[in-house]
Structure 1
Amino acid sequence: MPATGPVRFRATAEHLDDLLARIQRLRGAGRVIVGVTGPPGAGKSTLTAALAQALRAEQVRCAVVGMDGFHLAQAELERLGRAERKGAPDTFDADGYLALLHRLRRQTTGTVYAPFYVRGAVEQPIGSAVPVHPDDEVVLTEGNYLLLPTAPWDQVPGLVKETWYVHTAADVRREWLLARHLAGGKSHAQALAFTDGSDAANAALVATTRNRADVIIDWEQLPSHETSRNLT
C-alpha cells in the first residue's frame, strides 16, 4: 500500500486528462507498465481501451493486455470441479500471468504475444492473440486480482509501475454484469445466478484490496453497447 494512501480521481471515457497526465509523468527511460484492477463489471476493460486510444492519439505507443486471457479453459475448469466458480482466483493461471509480466518488463527485441479472453458465445481464452512490440512505451494490464495479497498474486505490484483501482457503484456494476451474461447467451436465471453468486463473491474479495492501490478511480460511465435497463 502507498505510504500516504491512494490518490483519488474521478473519470469518464470522455474526461481522462488527469489519468493521462499521470501516465506521462511516470514515463522516463524504459517501458511503463500500469496495472488496472477492480471488481468484475467495474469498467476496467473500457477504461484501459479509452486510455490506450487517447495515448495513441498523443503519439505514445501503447498495448493493453488482460489477466482474463489466463482464464483456465472451460474443459479444465470442469475437470477441476471449478466451473461454477469461474472467475475466482484459482480459476486463472496466475503463474502464467506473472511470467508474461516478467517478459514485458525485460522485453527489448522481438514481439511478445499475450492471450486474450473472448466473451460472448465463446467464453474462452485465445492464446497469442495480443502482440506487444518492443517499442510499445506504455503497457496497460487489467484484471481483478492484481492487488490480492496472497501468493502468487502478491508479486504483481512489484512488476508494475503503479496499480490503479477502478470503483463503480454496486448497482451499476450488477446491471452491467447481468447484461454481459445475457449477451453471452446465458438464460435469465443463469445470468442472475452468476451475477449474484460467483461474481458477487469475487467482487467482495477484490473490494478488500482497494486501499492497496496507488490510485483509486471513480469511474462514472458505462459504454452504451453494454448498458441494459430493466433486466431484473
Structure 2
Amino acid sequence: MIELLKNIEFSPFLISFKLAAITTIILFIISLPLAWYLSQTKSKIKPFLEAITALPLVLPPSVLGFYILWALSYNSPIGAFFQEYFGVSLVFNFYGLVIASCFYSLPFMVQPMQSGLEGINKNMLEASYISGKGKIETLFKIALPNMKPALLTAIIVTFAHTVGEFGVVLMVGGSIPGETKVASVAIYEFVEIMDYTNAHIYSIFMIILSFLTLLGVYIFNGKQKRSPVGM
C-alpha cells in the first residue's frame, strides 16, 4: 500500500484544490451582495434572478460546458477580446477552468447564503436601520455574524463541489497535465485505460474528503443550533 501511495501523482489534487479555493473566494465576493439583494427584495424580477442562479443545478453539465466553451473560445466576442487585447486564450487553460467553475458552482454559494439571510430575525435588521446603520454596515455587522452556519455551509459545499467537478471542467479545460488535469478527470482517464488500482485510490481519497467535509458542516451546524443566542 505504501508503495502504491508513493507512485501517486498528486498534481491533479493540487490543481483541484487550487481551483476550488479560487472559485470559492470569487463566488463569495459575487454571491454575498446577490444573496443579500434576493433575500431583501420584493421585486417582480426576483423569481427570474433566482431561476437564472439555480440554472446550473438542472442543466446537464455537457450543455453548460458547451456554451461556456463557446463563450470563451476565439469565435465568440468575449474570447476574441481577451485573445486580441491581452493575448490570453480562455479555453484549455486554468483561467477557463476558474470561469467555468464559477458558473457551475454559483447556486451552491448563493442559495445557502440567501436562506441564511432570509432566516435572520427581521426585527434585528429594522433595529439596525433605525439606529442609523446603512445596508452595508447592517449586512456585515448584523446579518453575517448571525448566519454563521449558512455561511460555513455555502463556503465548504462550494469548495467541495468544485473539487468534484467533472463534465464542465473536462469540456472547458481538457486534460493538460500540471494545468487543467484535475482529480475527477484523472479518475476518468484511469478508468478508460482500465487502471482500476489508481482509480480506486483517487476515488477513495475523494470519498473521504467529501465525507469529512459534510461531517464538519453538520457538526458545526449542530453546535451552533445548541449554542445560546448571542454566543
Per the normalisation by structure 2, the TM-score is: 0.29
Per the normalisation by structure 1, the TM-score is: 0.29
Structure with the largest fraction of helix: 2
For the pair shown, which has the larger CA radius of gyration, 1 or 2?
A: 2
Structure with the largest fraction of strand: 1
